[in-house]
Amino acid sequence: MNIRNLISYGFLILVLGLVQILFLKNLAVFGHAFGFLYLLGLLILPSTIRTIPLMLIAFCLGFILDVFFETIGMHTAAATLFAFLKPIWLKAASPTGGFDEAEEPSLGQIGFGRYISYAFPLLFVYALAFFIADQWGTGGFFGVLSKSFFSALFTLMLTLVVQLLFFSRKRGI
């Protein structure tokens, strides 16, 4: 990971965060499916970044979002869980022999099928954690489950669209 990559990842996360805060705040498809697009920034961080720095990044991102969304702690908790599980899941879901060290798990790098099987469960866990925190004691279990499922699906579609439109085939951004 060189300095050029570092800057481009920083820029990507900044842009995604801005889009999340400015446009996706009150957007919910059918009042049900939320888009957590900023997770794309965490999803495609290369596998060379270890769990601890990843978790710290996720914690800070989630916290900044929480301050803007007035949902203190909820995005933070979910994003930290997301970052904790990401390396584990990446290792479990990667082909035998593992990824190339510097490889980033983005659509262009690992292909359509593998990207979905890598991203969707993580997004689902994130959404589940978020909605459990949000609806604690008020919403029904199935409501939380269906909201999480559709939010994960919607977020997955958003990440696919963004990657298809804005990412070059060779390398990120």
Q: Which of 13, 25, 90, 150 is in the footprint of other proteins by CB under 8 A? A: 25
- Answer yes or no whether residue 22 interacts with other proteins by CB under 8 A: yes
Name the minimum Å distance from CB 22 to other proteins. 6
Residue whose C-alpha is closest to residue 150's, from 122, 130, 127, 134: 127
Name the minimum Å distance from CB 163 to other proteins. 25
Contacting other proteins within 115-134 (CB under 8 A): 133-134
**Torsion over CA: 83, 88, 93, 94 (sign):** positive
Measured from the CB atom, the residue of 78 and 110 that comes closer to other proteins is 78
Give the CB-side neighbour count of residue 39, counting CA atoms within 13 A: 33
Instruction: Give the three-state DSSP class for 157.
Output: helix
Three-class SS of 135-150? CCCCCCHHHHHHHHHH
Which residue stretches of the chain are H helix? 3-22, 39-43, 51-69, 74-93, 107-110, 112-134, 141-166
Which x/- pattern, by CB under 8 A, does the window 39-78 give for other proteins? -----------xxx--xx--x--xx--xxxxxxxxx-xx-
Contacting other proteins within 79-118 (CB under 8 A): 80-81, 84
Chain residues in the site for other proteins (CB under 8 A): 21-22, 25-26, 28, 31, 34, 50-52, 55-56, 59, 62-63, 66-74, 76-77, 80-81, 84, 133-135, 138-139
